[in-house]
A and B are shown apart, each in its own frame.
Chain A
Amino acid sequence: MNVRRSTAAPRGTARRGEQRGGRRGRRGGRLRAVGLNALGLAVFAVAVFPVAWMVSTAFKPNEEIFSTTPRPLPGSPTLEHFDYVLGGGIAEVSFWTYLRNSALLALTTVLVSGVLAVLAAIAVARFAFRFRTVFLVMLLVVQMVPAEALVLPLFLDLRRLGMIDSLAGLVVVYIGFALPFSIWMLRGFVAAVPRELEEAAAIDGAGPIRTFWTVLLPLIAPGLVATSIFSFITAWNEFIFAFTFLDDQDKYPLPVMMQYFFGNASNEWGPIMASSTLLTLPVIVFFLLVQRRMVSGLTAGAVKG
């Protein structure tokens, strides 16, 4: 019946169930397994199809893209759309400029929010202090504040500071948005490191800084990687702030470039899908690496039951 569970279930119950169902039960079980696997494949297909279609379209010549009978795979695959995009086809700015802007934004966000998150996570996981609960609740609340609302005042603030149309101004905003969740995620990793290890290091004469570098940091490294990937994706995917703050095409990150390109050449599906592919694949790879951590960070306690 339950394919996974029946093997894990206590022997007694499983056998009792089998006796009751007899031969028919076992055959029904196999049929059910086939049905479940078919359903699984259907879910897989639905989930992957739009992205697969994007990649496939990116490799199709124009006749095939606009053909009245679409084919799942390109009949005669071509790299022309990638050539067009990479060769500076979009607004006469090289694709590498957009890519560099995106990478610069994402990496700076990762670096700065990573350092700040480690500090705050240590404070929350290792110390009892007066406003600890208030601080934690605040982290939860600010994650829910709509960016779509904050974009108005932040636009005015950055304008006043002369930081509009600059990647530096944008990065500051991204750090603010990546930080709360990063701390929330990291504090679990810090809390998981046995305090005795640090105390042993202290007894051996290591100061707090040395203990941090030699004991704590190596042990929370996996958590730091997961957090970094999360921050990277936040900055890499962000659209509304970049779209509102930036004027110069030279400064556009990839999502704004996509919107610009899509708005101005809405029927050039080949190049649009080629650049979408280039924007999307890094995120998918990173995401597959980090997804487990993200779920546990968001629903955390709920799972413990």
Chain B
Amino acid sequence: MLDTAPAVRAAEGRPGRRDPGPARPRRHRPWPYLLIAPTLAVIALLMFWPMAQIALMSFQKVGNRQLAGAPAESVGLENYRSILSDELFWQSLRSTVLFAVAAVTLTLVLGTLVGLLLNRLSRRMAALVSAGVMVAWATPPITAAIIFTWLFGTTGGVVNWLLDLLPDALVGGGWTDYNWFATPLRTYTVLTVCVVWQSFPFVAVSVLAGLKSLPAELLEAARVDGAGAWRAFWAITFPMLRPIFLVLLVLSVIWDFKVFTQLFVMSGMANRDAFNLSLYAYSEAFGGMNAKLGLGSAIAAVLTLLLLAVTAVYVRIMVRQGEVS
């Protein structure tokens, strides 16, 4: 792989230097700052200030009285103590992590296989399949969740009908009235299918883009030397595309960790057993008659910190690849 470190070092933007990497310094010093000023204002107001508020509120009691205008009471670590001793928090965390592991693994494996397949198809066939795959990607999360609830439903649901058609020896019988939303595990199964269906296209298309950038001679050579598809993938394709797989892994983890809309539609705020972290935070804050925004903030802070840790890995990869130059 190319060493991009010099590019990154050059881009660190030392003010006094006359020959920085990408752009020539100009005499109009204030220009770039004026150009990014509106963006900075928007991001500060809508991202940084709210994040600071989450941190602050997680140490406060913010309920109905505070919403009505009373000043927030500081409660120290009480919110954190209360969530860490709440079995529901640990269960939500467990669900979040297990779901992310399952969904990310399936998404990456399926997406990579489809990417490899797209690379081998004729031009016209590849165009058709990628257009189809785009349809899954483009579907808004809210409709995807509703469609999958319908597909897995008990009245007129096509999945139960299909499972019933299959030989009983294979899948067992009695699927007609099988309720896919009766237990958290079943709900999460449907959720996983739904999320994987929506996210494998991005992986497939990215892997395809990576494959197109590989020199064809390498794989040809491996083939001539008698390497099978499996060996060629692990010996050549995967190491060459390692950066792209890393980015895909990190992005998938981030996206699947905070999945909200689909779970909200499929399971709602009443099924506390099926909470993940984001739904748990939301439900503590807005779910009951008594808003508990302080408690919700503590959960949101935990979720944000976990995601920022993963994001740090992503930023590191991007910087190494010279993307931030």
A residues within 8 Å of B by Cβ?
Answer: 1-5, 8-10, 13-14, 16-17, 20, 33, 36-37, 39-41, 43-48, 50-51, 53-54, 57, 65-70, 116-117, 119-120, 122-133, 135-138, 140-142, 144-157, 159, 172-173, 175-177, 179-180, 183, 191, 233, 236-237, 239-240, 244, 255, 258-259, 262-263, 267, 269, 272-273, 276, 279-280, 283-284, 286-288, 291, 295-296, 298-305
**Cβ distance A229 to chain B, nearest Cβ, rounded Å:** 11
> Does any Cβ of A come within 8 Å of B139's Cβ?
yes
For this complex, 7 residue pairs linking A to B, each with C-beta atoms less than 8 Å apart, are: A13-B217, A47-B132, A47-B201, A117-B39, A119-B36, A299-B247, A303-B210
B135, B220, B224, B282: the one contacting A151 at CB < 8 Å is B282
> Does any Cβ of A come within 8 Å of B103's Cβ?
no
**Cβ distance A118 to chain B, nearest Cβ, rounded Å:** 9
- The proximity string for B residues 136-168 relative to A, scoring 1 for CB distances below 8 Å and 0 otherwise, is 111111111011111101011010010000000
> Does any Cβ of A come within 8 Å of B2's Cβ?
yes
Contact B120 A3 (CB under 8 A): yes
Name which of B15-23, B74-82, B86-94 contacts chain A. B15-23
Q: Which residues of chain A are within 8 angstroms of B314 by Cβ–Cβ distance?
A: 140, 144
- The proximity string for B residues 268-305 relative to A, scoring 1 for CB distances below 8 Å and 0 otherwise, is 10000000001001100110000001001100110110
CA distance A130 to B14 in the complex (A): 7
> Does any Cβ of A come within 8 Å of B173's Cβ?
no
B residues within 8 Å of A by Cβ?
Answer: 1-2, 4, 11-13, 15, 20-26, 29, 31-33, 35-36, 38-40, 42-43, 45-47, 49-51, 53-54, 57, 62, 67, 114, 117-123, 125-126, 128-129, 131-144, 146-151, 153, 155-156, 158, 161, 176, 197, 201-202, 205-206, 209-210, 213-214, 216-217, 219-221, 223-224, 240-241, 243-244, 246-248, 251, 254, 257-258, 260-261, 264-265, 268, 278, 281-282, 285-286, 293, 296-297, 300-301, 303-304, 307-308, 310-311, 314-315, 317-319, 321-325
CA distance A217 to B137 in the complex (A): 30
**Cβ distance B283 to chain A, nearest Cβ, rounded Å:** 11
Q: Which residues of chain A are within 8 angstroms of B224 by Cβ–Cβ distance?
A: 13, 16-17, 20
B13, B31, B121, B161: the one contacting A69 at CB < 8 Å is B161
Q: Which residues of chain A are within 8 angstroms of B121 by Cβ–Cβ distance?
A: 3-4, 36-37, 40
Contact B147 A4 (CB under 8 A): no
**Cβ distance A211 to chain B, nearest Cβ, rounded Å:** 13
Contact A175 B42 (CB under 8 A): yes
Closest Cβ neighbor of A243 among chain B residues: B264
Contact A17 B43 (CB under 8 A): no
**Cβ distance A31 to chain B, nearest Cβ, rounded Å:** 14
**Cβ distance A184 to chain B, nearest Cβ, rounded Å:** 9
**Cβ distance B26 to chain A, nearest Cβ, rounded Å:** 6
Contact A140 B243 (CB under 8 A): no
Contact B304 A146 (CB under 8 A): yes
Contact B123 A5 (CB under 8 A): no
Q: Which residues of chain A are within 8 angstroms of B296 by Cβ–Cβ distance?
A: 152
